[in-house]
A and B are shown apart, each in its own frame.
Chain A
Amino acid sequence: MTAQPTQPSRWRRLLHLRRSVRAGVQEELAFHVAMKTEELIASGLDPAAAREQALESFGTVADVRDACIEIDERVLRRERRGDYMTSFVQDVRYALRNMRRTPAFTVVVALTLALGIGANTAMFSVVDAVLLKPLPYAQPERLVSLVTVSRDVNEFPSSFAEFQHWRQHADGPFSALAALFRNGATLAGDDGEPMALAGARMSAVLPRMLGVQPLVGRAFTAEDDPHTAERTVMISERLWRLRYSASPSIVGRTITLNGNPWRVIGVYPSNARSTLPFGSVETTPTDLWMPLRLDPAAEWLYGLQFMSVVGQLRPGITATEAGAWMARQPPLPGLQIAGAPPQRPNSVRVYQLSDRLLDNVQRYLAILLGAVGFVLLIACVNVANLLLARAALRQRELAVRTALGASRSRIVTQLLVESVMRALLGGALGVAIAYASLAAFRAYLPARLPRFDEVQLDGRVLLFVIVVSLLTAIVFGLVPALRASRPDMVSTLREGGRGLAGSMRHDRLRRSLVVAEVALSFVLLVGAGLLFRSLNAILAVPRGFESANTLTASVTLPAARYPDSTRQVTFFESAIERLSALPGVKSVTVTTSLPIEGGVNGGVNIPGSTFGPDERPIAEKRVVSPNYFEALGARMVAGRAFQPTDRAGAELVVIVNESFVRRYLPDVDPIGRMVDFLWGTPEGVPQRIVGVVADIREQNLNEPSAPAIYIPATQRPIDGGYLMVRTSGDPISVLPAVRREILAIDRYLPLSQVRTLDDVVDGGLSRQRFSASLLGAFSLLALFLAAIGIYGLISYAVAQRTSEFGIRAALGAQSGDIVRLVLTESGTLVLAGVVLGGAAAAGLTRVLSSQLYAVSATDAVSFVLAAGVLVAAAMLASALPSWRASRLDPARALRSD
């Protein structure tokens, strides 16, 4: 053992010194006065006068004394500070030496902590970027989202009519109000490949509200907004570099979008700030910004609910105050439909923009952060347990140090310094693990998590690592340090450090820690089990269509080149004809919206049925090729599918789904009934239901199927939609041929959003899949750590009881008995852990309820599965030590103590 130079309470010595400083100075001066007095007496003065003169030569003795004391105390203080530094440096050195001397132990501790800290760091960096940092806009606290609310319940995008109405009444709380909506466009007509670009229309004021500074050129002004203004566009930095080699001369140039000339006025930087605040969490970056330029004559457009509205609050106004102000304004009158009762006017809600954008990810991320916190806790418990086991081995060393005069606080400090060093090592490794996990997150995280591009390991995250490491050190280090610092010195030394004294106490503590570990892992396992069962339930939901081997791609026909329905119909007819003729293609169909992804919905009138003012039927609306149901493998349950005779000029027909019938036409034969609604046909034009199709999941799989109406494209021409190409083999392999055929029809027409239908289905589940996988990974990590904890404890117990086992074996115990003994030991631990964890899980899984589909938060299967997995892991962890115990040679075992 390397005895650290132990100053017997150096601190107390310094305290003593401080008192002696005064005494020393006084004695020194008194000596001088005495000598001087003697000298003066010797020269003939009487003693009193001599003393007086001796004192006089000092001036004021007290001043001299105080000056000296002040200097000496300053020295003392400096020395003490140096002392602390020295002892700290010593502690650090000692800790490093200790860690080097037991490399295996150091590595195990560091890896355990690194797993915990790394997982937490990665998760924190996501939460920090997504939730904690302010939105990337200028003055984000002043930005709010205005949302239309119908019947005080359902929130909708807003209509242009509403936006204009609000703008007239928003002067009080708002300094600016902007509308925006997604509006993709095809860039073609020059020498380059045609490109389908994501874009947005927006009020001219929006870039200024967000604080976007153009890289070159200018942003919009109010003159760009009206329908009569010249078509002006801002392009993204990305497009500028990709297509125009970042040439500044792009400003002022005219580009062709959807067949129309648009003049480029500026380039905006492709950064977080230019991510537009659409109400949804989707944050696909845009490449084109265009002013609203809404045609006041297109009256039908004004009532459609499709816009996001963003407001900038006047300084000092809160979102709540702005909401209260808007509630006091006269509402826009509700839609009037001939023959139907008047609709209740919509109201408006005002949300802080950050709340609105991040609303549904807050809880989701909080759960994951909580789960990952559990993992760290388990890692801490594990390390504490390892330290406790080591402390037993170090008792002799610590006893010697105590005997040499090290105080308890010195030893605790030193052990804590050692813990901090271990935690920091773990933290450093953890950063590496976090870095790797973030790369994995990037690969698997749903792209729909907003602001994910901003996730990074920055200074804030590193600060988090340091704070967590220090906290961790205290959590896992304090109890073992306190325990170890009061060894029963005499008995430890006498027993040669094998320290049976206190081992019972240690055992009890260590068992409780392992039980806690098991309980924590049980909670995580149950959580993961619930999410996986929920995911399975969603996957098992009947979708009503086949998704295998299907390629989907979006096309948009520019109005400039496809001004009338004849050309649109011709395009889709020849596209279907050409693509169907490709080798490996089984069928081709077209729809305005893909299944799963949702799309257009709106009100429907059903003449002959009456509904209350708040119960007007709403349905998903899809325009599809006549072969849609057949191509998708959907099942007709009544009436007929679309036929070639459903053409322009023939009677307008529709097909509805089963949900529609169940909800709006129960107890009657739906075939032959009429409906009317707005889509290319004016309201009031009746359309006959000719068939009922089994529900096709048009929206999220975890929501109930919605009523839907299907309209044949042959009767209602469309200017764009999704091509769905069913193939006999890998759908992606036909993509080049599909592209070639489309360009052969129109060399300026690009395909966009190319995916397989399987990917579309998966995309809708990405978040569930992600949280289930993540929680699954966390719980496996926890299980692994708990198993190590059990393994450590059992090995230790076996080692401690080696002689006992030896006696038992010598007395004729079969090895099976010993195995049973060890297994009983670990079985008790696991049972206690499962019972405790079960109680905790029953309370905690409630927070998962909102994330679960068709599975209760106290789902018995998940609990039983979790318990089973834990028991199996525990048995595995204690198998090795018990096998070793059973193979003991009785003679050797007896000698070992």
Chain B
Amino acid sequence: MRDSSLDMLQGTLDLLVLKTLTWGPAHGYAIVRWIQQLSGDQLIVSEGSLYPALHRLDERGWVESEWKISDAGRRARFYRLTPKGRAQLRAEHATWGRFVRAVSRVLEAESQPA
């Protein structure tokens, strides 16, 4: 992980991967690229954590994979969001929103609590 990037919070990577897959099946390399681009190069996903995460999501049944030929003409493993994964994304998205608001409220507070 590079100094310039934001550290991924635990579970955040799963959320991001599920989100990127809502646009359609993708292989691991594409997922890294998309996250990087969408975050304006603020989030750099380490490959060392991405692939185990993908396989874990597969194990839980949130994504499924199949081998297809990529745009570059090579065989690649494409991951696809399952209905179960979609439901999970919705739930985690909501949780994430609450988390962010809560953290912001603390950080932006102007006086010590009574």
User: Which of A58-66, A164-172, A473-481, A753-761 is found at the contact surface with chain B?
Assistant: A58-66
Cα A785 to Cα B76 with chains together (Å) = 67
Are B55 and A72 in contact (CB-based, < 8 A)?
A: yes
Residue interface bits A71-109, CB-to-B below 8 A is 1, else 0: 110110000000000000000000000000000000000
B84 at the interface (CB under 8 A from A): no
Nearest-neighbour CB distance to chain A for B95, whole angstroms, equals 24
Are A34 and B74 in contact (CB-based, < 8 A)?
A: yes
User: Which of A23-31, A142-150, A437-445, A529-537 is found at the contact surface with chain B?
Assistant: A23-31
A32 at the interface (CB under 8 A from B): yes
Cα A64 to Cα B50 with chains together (Å) = 9
A356 at the interface (CB under 8 A from B): no
B48 at the interface (CB under 8 A from A): yes
**Complex: chain B residue closest to A27, CB-CB:** B75
Are A71 and B48 in contact (CB-based, < 8 A)?
A: no
Are B52 and A32 in contact (CB-based, < 8 A)?
A: no
Chain B residues whose CB sits within 8 angstroms of the CB of A72 once the complex forms: 55, 58-59
Are A35 and B59 in contact (CB-based, < 8 A)?
A: no
Chain A residues whose CB sits within 8 angstroms of the CB of B47 once the complex forms: 32, 57-59, 64
**Complex: chain B residue closest to A60, CB-CB:** B48
Chain B residues whose CB sits within 8 angstroms of the CB of A63 once the complex forms: 48
Are B74 and A28 in contact (CB-based, < 8 A)?
A: no
Are A59 and B77 in contact (CB-based, < 8 A)?
A: no
Known: A36-B29, A64-B47. A71 touches B74 (CB 8 A): no
The residue from A31, A34, A59, A74 contacting B48, defined by CB atoms under 8 A apart: A59
Known: A27-B75, A32-B29, A35-B29. A58 touches B59 (CB 8 A): no
Residue interface bits A28-45, CB-to-B below 8 A is 1, else 0: 110110111010000000
Chain B residues whose CB sits within 8 angstroms of the CB of A71 once the complex forms: 52, 55-56, 58-59
Nearest-neighbour CB distance to chain B for A42, whole angstroms, equals 12
Q: For chain A residues 246-278, which have a beta carbon within 8 Å of chain B? A: none
Are B76 and A28 in contact (CB-based, < 8 A)?
A: yes
B46 at the interface (CB under 8 A from A): yes
Cα A36 to Cα B28 with chains together (Å) = 11
Nearest-neighbour CB distance to chain A for B76, whole angstroms, equals 5
Chain B residues whose CB sits within 8 angstroms of the CB of A38 once the complex forms: 72
Residue interface bits A823-852, CB-to-B below 8 A is 1, else 0: 000000000000000000000000000000
Are B29 and A24 in contact (CB-based, < 8 A)?
A: no
Q: For chain B residues 16-69, which have a beta carbon within 8 Å of chain A? A: 27-29, 46-48, 51-52, 55-56, 58-59, 67
Chain A residues whose CB sits within 8 angstroms of the CB of B28 once the complex forms: 28, 31-32
Cα A64 to Cα B49 with chains together (Å) = 8
Are B55 and A58 in contact (CB-based, < 8 A)?
A: no
Chain A residues whose CB sits within 8 angstroms of the CB of B48 once the complex forms: 57-60, 63-64
The residue from B27, B46, B52 contacting A31, defined by CB atoms under 8 A apart: B27
Chain B residues whose CB sits within 8 angstroms of the CB of A64 once the complex forms: 47-48, 51-52
Known: A35-B72, A57-B47. A28 touches B52 (CB 8 A): no
A403 at the interface (CB under 8 A from B): no
The residue from B46, B56, B59, B77 contacting A28, defined by CB atoms under 8 A apart: B77
Cα A60 to Cα B77 with chains together (Å) = 21
Chain A residues whose CB sits within 8 angstroms of the CB of B76 once the complex forms: 28, 31
Chain A CB within 10 A, most for which of B28, B51, B59, B74: B51
Chain B CB within 10 A, most for which of A28, A59, A74: A28
Residue interface bits A44-64, CB-to-B below 8 A is 1, else 0: 000000000000011110011
Are A67 and B75 in contact (CB-based, < 8 A)?
A: no
Residue interface bits A856-894, CB-to-B below 8 A is 1, else 0: 000000000000000000000000000000000000000
Cα A64 to Cα B48 with chains together (Å) = 6
Are B77 and A31 in contact (CB-based, < 8 A)?
A: yes
Question: Count the B residues whose beta carbon is within 8 Å of the partner chain — how many?
Answer: 19
Chain B residues whose CB sits within 8 angstroms of the CB of A31 once the complex forms: 27-29, 70, 74-77
Known: A36-B29, A71-B59, A74-B59. A29 touches B74 (CB 8 A): no
**Complex: chain B residue closest to A78, CB-CB:** B59
Known: A31-B75, A32-B29, A57-B46. A68 touches B59 (CB 8 A): no
Nearest-neighbour CB distance to chain B for A74, whole angstroms, equals 7
Chain B residues whose CB sits within 8 angstroms of the CB of A36 once the complex forms: 29
The residue from B51, B70, B74, B75 contacting A68, defined by CB atoms under 8 A apart: B51
Cα A632 to Cα B52 with chains together (Å) = 101
Are B51 and A29 in contact (CB-based, < 8 A)?
A: yes
Chain B residues whose CB sits within 8 angstroms of the CB of A34 once the complex forms: 74
Cα A31 to Cα B56 with chains together (Å) = 19
The residue from B58, B74, B77 contacting A75, defined by CB atoms under 8 A apart: B58
Cα A58 to Cα B28 with chains together (Å) = 13
Cα A59 to Cα B51 with chains together (Å) = 12
Nearest-neighbour CB distance to chain A for B57, whole angstroms, equals 10
Cα A592 to Cα B112 with chains together (Å) = 109
Chain B residues whose CB sits within 8 angstroms of the CB of A74 once the complex forms: 59
Chain A residues whose CB sits within 8 angstroms of the CB of B77 once the complex forms: 24, 27-28, 31
Known: A71-B56, A75-B58, A75-B59. A28 touches B51 (CB 8 A): yes
Cα A57 to Cα B47 with chains together (Å) = 6
Cα A424 to Cα B52 with chains together (Å) = 48
Nearest-neighbour CB distance to chain A for B48, whole angstroms, equals 4
Nearest-neighbour CB distance to chain B for A568, whole angstroms, equals 96
Nearest-neighbour CB distance to chain A for B52, whole angstroms, equals 4
Cα A38 to Cα B73 with chains together (Å) = 13
Nearest-neighbour CB distance to chain B for A54, whole angstroms, equals 9
**Complex: chain A residue closest to B52, CB-CB:** A67
Cα A34 to Cα B56 with chains together (Å) = 23
Residue interface bits B71-114, CB-to-A below 8 A is 1, else 0: 01011110000000000000000000000000000000000000
Chain A residues whose CB sits within 8 angstroms of the CB of B70 once the complex forms: 31
Nearest-neighbour CB distance to chain A for B16, whole angstroms, equals 17
Nearest-neighbour CB distance to chain A for B41, whole angstroms, equals 14
Nearest-neighbour CB distance to chain A for B78, whole angstroms, equals 10
Cα A58 to Cα B49 with chains together (Å) = 8
Chain B residues whose CB sits within 8 angstroms of the CB of A57 once the complex forms: 46-48
Residue interface bits A13-31, CB-to-B below 8 A is 1, else 0: 0000000000011011101
Cα A28 to Cα B55 with chains together (Å) = 11
Chain A residues whose CB sits within 8 angstroms of the CB of B51 once the complex forms: 25, 28-29, 32, 64, 67-68
Chain B residues whose CB sits within 8 angstroms of the CB of A28 once the complex forms: 27-28, 51, 76-77
Given contacts A63-B48, A71-B55, 18 further A-B contacts (CB under 8 A): A25-B55, A28-B27, A31-B28, A31-B76, A31-B77, A32-B29, A35-B72, A38-B72, A57-B46, A59-B47, A59-B48, A60-B48, A64-B48, A64-B51, A67-B51, A68-B51, A74-B59, A75-B58
**What is the interface of chain A, defined by CB distance below 8 A to chain B?**
24-25, 27-29, 31-32, 34-36, 38, 57-60, 63-64, 67-68, 71-72, 74-75
What are 28 sample pairs from A and B whose C-beta atoms fall under 8 A apart? A24-B67, A27-B77, A28-B27, A28-B51, A28-B76, A28-B77, A31-B28, A31-B74, A31-B77, A32-B29, A35-B29, A38-B72, A57-B47, A57-B48, A58-B46, A58-B47, A58-B48, A59-B46, A63-B48, A64-B52, A67-B51, A67-B52, A71-B56, A71-B58, A71-B59, A72-B55, A74-B59, A75-B59
Q: What 3 A-B pairs have minimum CB-CB distances, sorted nearest first? A: A59-B48, A71-B55, A67-B52
